[in-house]
Every structure is written in C-alpha cells, then in structure tokens.
Amino acid sequence: MTNQFYDQLAPYYKYIYQDWDASVTRQAKILDEVIREYAKLSAKTLLDASCGIGTQSIGLARLGYEVCASDFSTGEIERAKIEATNAGLSVDFRVADMRKVSEVFPGPFDVVISCDNSIPHLLSDADILQAFKQFFQCTKVGGLCLVSVRDYAQMERQDGKKMVPRTIHPLEGGALLMFDVWEFDRDQYEITTYIIEDQGESEAVTHILHGGRYFCVDISTLEKLLLKAGFREVHTLQERFFQPLIVALK
C-alpha cells in the first residue's frame, strides 16, 4: 500500500514543501557540511537509498557528488529523473527496496543516505536491521551513513485520528491545499493525504491518497540497530538538519 501511496503522491510531492527548490539547496548544503566534518575519507560517491523525487540526491549532485539513487516507488523514480534532467544533472535513478539495495547498487560508496523519515516505512526492527546491513555493505571503510527521521519520542500520540496541516500554494484563481490525517494504532500509524485544488469555483478537485504507513521507532533503537549492522561510531545531531540526523561511521 505504501508503494501505491507514493506512486500517487509523486506528481504533487513538491507541494509538500513551501519552496521545494530552496529546500533542495538548503538540505544539500547541510548534508555536505556534515559529510565533510565526519567522514574519514574524501567523499565523492554517494548512494541515496530512499530518494523519493530527488530532494537530497539532486542537491548533492549539484554540489559535485557522483550520485546513485533508489526508491521503492516507480512513480517517484520517474519524477526524480524528470527533475534531474530539468536541472541538467546526471543521477543514476533506479527502483529498489532498501532491504536489497546492494543488489541494484553494490558500491561501495563513500556515503549512503536515507533522509526524510523513510526508514520508519519499514515496520519492524528486523526489517530496519536488514536495511542497515545493506547500507553497511554499500559503504566504504571510513565512509558515512546518514539517516534522518522524526523523533517519535517527542511526538504526542494516542490511538485515534489526528489532522496534520501541510502547505498552501497559490494557483491561478485559487489555491492548492495539502493536509494529512494520521491514524495511530499502537506503535504504527497510517496517513491519508488530502490534496484540494481550489480554482475559485463552488466545487474543488480533491485527491485522497491512502496507505502511507509508518513505524514509531525511537532514535535510540535506530542507533543500536546501526551498531548491530556493523557501524562503529553512531550518534545523532539534533539541531543541524530539519529532522534529527543520525551519523554512522564505518
């Protein structure tokens, strides 16, 4: 279901951000600074193992990294290819499951990243560990793995539904509105995204996307799983990125 959710979201994904292009530039700058600070080698090659439409991989390619990127959503990979072409950049985008990414991109790479809360789409510790073992396999000795996630320990949650506003973007004669409904069920929740295209008429075009599911895994568990996967130094930068950023050194 999550795969289908992102296939449907792909044409609208940029609207999640108030200014997607600015976010691409800003996030790449911060990630580049972290890589330069923590990697024990001169980083040039990079694997984005959950690239979506290319929010991080396109910005990093613009900074000169040689980027390979994958996602489980065919729709998002196709959109990422379009965005990279429009930016005049060469990025090798392919469809792949994080838990088997080395079968598509064996590497090894100087840096492996998975940003924007992608890891919690894996709904158990076992699945996350499998992905982290793949990331470890794909990373050079002295290289880094960077993972950004929501801090679920700081999130108020209880069984039931919660509305989460997204963004409003102007359209000719109206606006495009996005919001989510999150439905919690113990340590997981499912999101439904509503996209409303208001063009100033009495009725609006509404798209309802079902099936995005997350596991409320805490950061301390992710740190332990990265160590278990083989990484030798793991810590979390709470304030550097728009989400907590876990840094793991091989």
Q: What φ, ψ does residue 119 adopt, rounded to 5°?
A: -55, -40
Closest CA to 139 of 149, 131, 151: 131
Q: Is the pTM of this model over 0.85?
A: yes
Q: Give the pLDDT score at 1.
A: 55
Residue 47 is predicted with a pLDDT of 99
Class of domain 2-151+218-249: alpha beta
Query: What are the tens digits of pLDDT across the range 198-221?
Result: 988 888 899 999 989 999 999 999
Sheet with 174-185: strands ordered across: 160-171, 174-185, 188-198, 205-215
Look up residue 87 and give its DSSP letter. T
For the chain, domain boundaries: 2-151+218-249, 154-215
pLDDT below 50 — which residues of the chain?
none
